[in-house]
Chain A
Amino acid sequence: MELSELLEIGQQERTRQKPIRVHCCTSTGCQAANSLGVKKKLETAVNRNGLSDRVEVVGVGCMGCCGRGPLVQIDPENLVYEEVTPEQAPSIISGLKDSSVVEAQPGDPEHPFFTKQFKIVRETSGKIDPERIEDYIAAGGYQGLHRAIGEFTPSEIVNEVSKSGLRGRGGAGFPTGLKWATVAKAPGDRKFVICNADEGDPGAFMDRSVLESDPHRVLEGMAIAAYAVGASEGFIYVRAEYPLAIERLQKAIKQAKKYGILGTHIFESQFDFKINIRIGAGAFVCGEETALMHSIEGKRGNPTPRPPYPAQSGLWGYSTLINNVETFCNIPAIVTNGGDWYASIGTEDSKGTKVFALTGKIRNNGLIEVPMGITLREIVEEMGGGVPGGEVKAVQTGGPSGGCIPASLLDTPVSYDSLAQVGSIMGSGGMVVMDNQTSMLEVAKFYMEFCRSESCGKCIPCRSGTVQMYHLLNKISDGEATEADLEKLEQLCEMVKHTSLCGLGQTAPNPVISTLRYFRHEYSELLQPETINV
């Protein structure tokens, strides 16, 4: 396919589209709030009002403000309605016809929640129908891939990604360009590209939303990566708890193959790339790259020590590139606009944007994409609207591997290094806000319970250390512990952190360590005096 043909598909799609598009969110969150019922009523109302020649109802992906779903947005007027019920749908459509009063709660597109965002990964999310490749192409989709294959050599792509300064968005923040260069240089003519979509942190749903809202962007990013590193086969490892994401990915792969965008001779070049989906049973440890690869191979999802790293010896022993969903979604924009453009966004050590799932005790729950360097205060107080009826006590970032940042440090800018300095991590993007009613000990207990039940059990520090830590936390919260127990807890944190085999165990103590660092008094005041047994 020539570029002109790709553009032609986009042009045809734009011509087909009606002048007024009523976008109704069909992501999991809004579906759970009956957005499909709303969509159906909107369609019926369009027909009843005789507006079908100029108005169309489009099921789109996530618009971000998930806590207020179902969301309906009308383009090009940029009107947003929140918490829409099926009963309100006819009123929204009537409003389009005769400007009558709409009986639905309007949203505010000028709220900082929207205006402070900078969308690269989620650029087309909530604007296009994720089930139509033509809609993605009409929004500029697959031009990056076409450009990559037609205008760049694989090493030029790797250079461009290196130049962008993009770091892995799965949590560890490893420089993406360096990872790509290692795989590209690895010997052997069989290589794999894996998309890690095994998101499992409590409170995080960024990857699920991206997969549901914009599956083609993930495919495009993966295809560019495959071209750059010399792979011809890829896998998307996605957990079975994400059925809608899986369904849309399957549909997207089928559509892309039909257009010659995936498969053999992509865009009539010599580049071949096919993508398979592997459905995981939903074990948190399978997000760890070695465990993930074992799971794809059909083995028990247990991690193995690194080195060797996947780039050296990955899937079935072949050099393998593993990146997270969000990392891949940045790639088309980097290829289209150049690495320098991407590097101009964000901070010195953290370039670009980051998607966060803003949840917890906060007014505006949902997904946000913000430039790196924005402060936690801007996110929590301005975009999130603060805590309803209370004050922010702490923000938890990085999920079970992360830590709690106290309200006094809310002016910390969001970047890999600055979050690490205050004892937390960026993680994959879960951000849980806690109010002053929250017990930090209970928070630590919650994450420890999660790690305890998700440990694969292969190594003893993680298998038994998490159980012992959870037991000690319980003992403290039950008012049965002494100073010696707290000391034992701290020793365990150190030991589990330094001796566990994989990232799950190595980071499991983090929520305890960080809550002890900033909220030690909450532990201390529950301790009992030492008793001497005679």
Chain B
Amino acid sequence: MPVTTLTIDGTPVAVETGSTILEAAQEAGVRIPTLCHLDGVSDVGACRLCLVEITGTRKLLPACVTEVAEEMEVHTNTEKLQEYRRMVVEMLFSEGNHVCAVCVSNGHCELQNMAVELGMDHSRFSYRFPQRDVDISHPQFGIDHNRCIFCTRCVRVCDELEGAHVWDVAHRCAGLKIVAGLDQPWGDVDACTSCGKCVDACPTGAIFRKGSTVAEMTRDRGKLEFLQQAREKGEWTR
């Protein structure tokens, strides 16, 4: 196994060549915050929380999609990065309607946890109070677009693990919306196998099991990782 050596926050790390900085950091026990990353599916580098500084590089690079290089010096938690991360979370809170007190994921929400971790207790940006709908047309699940942060985890698990590609992104900027099928009610989309992978993948209270009430909604991320690894290793083939 070819190995690349680098330093992460001053600690020397040796990882398999071709690993990402995020993988290397995980191996070294260094936590880099992320929201759009999900073990088992492809990375998109969209949430910008995992941006890191690399000595000799002017640009900040996303740890989830940047490969390690020999003698790379990675800094994961500088003051500048902390400030940018806080701003990212502030903006996520201000662009949707994230009211934790009435959310099914209260206490089990990655966005909420991220705010706590980064010390963000209020948003300095104007709340936008978007008019978004809630779709409960599916017999088992529901999606509350007000709580969506567009991490596209649901899109990727459905496409890459389930192979159904029920979810996709429509429109752009402020009008951005995760849609089912061809922007149909979720319950009308024939391609949906009701597997629930998107429910397990969602980091906030946006996609939930029907009947969940405040703070009841929990996820099983391990299931997704198990499925992906089983598929990769061919554990189901005879």
B47 nearest CB neighbor, chain A only: A460
Instruction: Bits for B48-71, please: 1 = Cβ < 8 Å to A, else 0.
Output: 100100000001111001110000
Are B87 and A491 neighbours in the complex by a CB distance under 8 Å?
A: yes
Are B44 and A463 neighbours in the complex by a CB distance under 8 Å?
A: no
A456 nearest CB neighbor, chain B only: B172
Contacts of B46 in A (CB 8 A): 458-460, 501
Contact partner, A495, options B65, B84, B171, B172, Cβ 8 Å: B84
Contacts of B59 in A (CB 8 A): 498
The reply to whether the CB of A468 lies closer than 8 angstroms to some CB of chain B is yes
Contacts of A453 in B (CB 8 A): 172-173
Contacts of B149 in A (CB 8 A): 460
Are A465 and B91 neighbours in the complex by a CB distance under 8 Å?
A: yes
Q: How far is the CB of B141 from chain A (nearest CB, A)?
A: 24
Contact partner, A305, options B65, B83, B87, B176, Cβ 8 Å: B65
Interchain CA distance A43-B94 in the complex, whole Å: 63
Contacts of A465 in B (CB 8 A): 91
The reply to whether the CB of A283 lies closer than 8 angstroms to some CB of chain B is yes
B168 nearest CB neighbor, chain A only: A300
Are A452 and B173 neighbours in the complex by a CB distance under 8 Å?
A: yes
A506 nearest CB neighbor, chain B only: B59
The reply to whether the CB of B100 lies closer than 8 angstroms to some CB of chain A is no
Are B126 and A468 neighbours in the complex by a CB distance under 8 Å?
A: yes
Contacts of A491 in B (CB 8 A): 87
The reply to whether the CB of A436 lies closer than 8 angstroms to some CB of chain B is no
> Which positions 437-488 of chain A face chain B at CB distance < 8 Å?
452-461, 463-468, 471, 488
Among the interface residues B67, B94, B172, which one has the most CB atoms of the partner chain A within 10 A? B172
Contact partner, A499, options B84, B171, B172, B174, Cβ 8 Å: B84
Contacts of A285 in B (CB 8 A): 172
Beyond A467-B174, A468-B126, whether A305 also contacts B45 by CB under 8 A is: yes
The reply to whether the CB of A304 lies closer than 8 angstroms to some CB of chain B is yes
A contact residues, total (Cβ < 8 Å) = 32
Beyond A458-B46, A460-B92, whether A467 also contacts B173 by CB under 8 A is: yes
Among the interface residues B61, B65, B66, which one has the most CB atoms of the partner chain A within 10 A? B65
Are A457 and B87 neighbours in the complex by a CB distance under 8 Å?
A: no
Are B45 and A501 neighbours in the complex by a CB distance under 8 Å?
A: yes
Contacts of B174 in A (CB 8 A): 452, 457, 463, 467
Contacts of A300 in B (CB 8 A): 168-169
Are B51 and A499 neighbours in the complex by a CB distance under 8 Å?
A: yes
Contacts of A307 in B (CB 8 A): 66-67
The reply to whether the CB of B95 lies closer than 8 angstroms to some CB of chain A is yes
Contacts of A458 in B (CB 8 A): 44, 46, 150, 169
The reply to whether the CB of B128 lies closer than 8 angstroms to some CB of chain A is yes
Are B125 and A283 neighbours in the complex by a CB distance under 8 Å?
A: no
Interchain CA distance A171-B59 in the complex, whole Å: 18
Q: How far is the CB of B98 from chain A (nearest CB, A)?
A: 13
Are A466 and B173 neighbours in the complex by a CB distance under 8 Å?
A: yes
Contacts of A463 in B (CB 8 A): 95, 150, 173-174, 176
The reply to whether the CB of B88 lies closer than 8 angstroms to some CB of chain A is yes
Are A467 and B95 neighbours in the complex by a CB distance under 8 Å?
A: yes
Interchain CA distance A465-B92 in the complex, whole Å: 10
Contacts of B61 in A (CB 8 A): 305
Contacts of A452 in B (CB 8 A): 173-174
Contact partner, A464, options B45, B67, B94, B171, Cβ 8 Å: B94
Interchain CA distance A283-B172 in the complex, whole Å: 10
Contact partner, A498, options B47, B60, B94, B168, Cβ 8 Å: B60
> Which positions 313-370 of chain A face chain B at CB distance < 8 Å?
none
The reply to whether the CB of B124 lies closer than 8 angstroms to some CB of chain A is yes
Are B87 and A304 neighbours in the complex by a CB distance under 8 Å?
A: no
Are B84 and A304 neighbours in the complex by a CB distance under 8 Å?
A: no
A305 nearest CB neighbor, chain B only: B45
Interchain CA distance A440-B6 in the complex, whole Å: 47
Contact partner, B84, options A305, A471, A498, A501, Cβ 8 Å: A498
Beyond A304-B45, A501-B48, whether A456 also contacts B65 by CB under 8 A is: no
Q: How far is the CB of A306 from chain B (nearest CB, A)?
A: 10
Are A457 and B48 neighbours in the complex by a CB distance under 8 Å?
A: no
Interchain CA distance A177-B95 in the complex, whole Å: 44
Interchain CA distance A201-B25 in the complex, whole Å: 40
Among the interface residues B66, B83, B173, which one has the most CB atoms of the partner chain A within 10 A? B173
Beyond A455-B173, A460-B88, A461-B91, whether A467 also contacts B47 by CB under 8 A is: no
Are A457 and B125 neighbours in the complex by a CB distance under 8 Å?
A: no
Beyond A283-B172, A467-B174, whether A499 also contacts B48 by CB under 8 A is: yes
Contacts of A305 in B (CB 8 A): 45, 61-62, 65-66
Are A457 and B172 neighbours in the complex by a CB distance under 8 Å?
A: yes
Instruction: Bits for B136-175, please: 1 = Cβ < 8 Å to A, else 0.
Output: 0000000000000110000000000000000011011110
Are B88 and A461 neighbours in the complex by a CB distance under 8 Å?
A: yes
Interchain CA distance A295-B72 in the complex, whole Å: 34
Interchain CA distance A421-B46 in the complex, whole Å: 31
B128 nearest CB neighbor, chain A only: A467
Q: How far is the CB of A465 from chain B (nearest CB, A)?
A: 7
Q: How far is the CB of B96 from chain A (nearest CB, A)?
A: 10
Contact partner, A459, options B47, B83, B95, B125, Cβ 8 Å: B47
Interchain CA distance A403-B168 in the complex, whole Å: 35
Contacts of B47 in A (CB 8 A): 459-460
Are B126 and A471 neighbours in the complex by a CB distance under 8 Å?
A: yes
Q: Which 8 A-B pairs have the closest CB atoms?
A: A457-B176, A464-B91, A455-B173, A305-B45, A464-B95, A457-B172, A499-B48, A468-B125
Give A residues with C-beta under 8 Å from B: 283, 285, 300, 302, 304-305, 307, 452-461, 463-468, 471, 488, 491-492, 495, 498-501
The 13 sampled A-B contact pairs (Cβ below 8 Å) are A300-B168, A304-B44, A453-B173, A456-B172, A458-B44, A458-B150, A459-B45, A460-B47, A463-B150, A463-B176, A464-B92, A467-B128, A471-B126
With A305-B61, A457-B173, A491-B87 given, name 20 new contacts (CB 8 A).
A300-B168, A452-B173, A453-B173, A454-B173, A455-B172, A455-B173, A457-B171, A458-B44, A459-B45, A459-B48, A460-B46, A461-B91, A464-B92, A464-B95, A468-B126, A495-B84, A499-B48, A499-B51, A499-B60, A499-B88
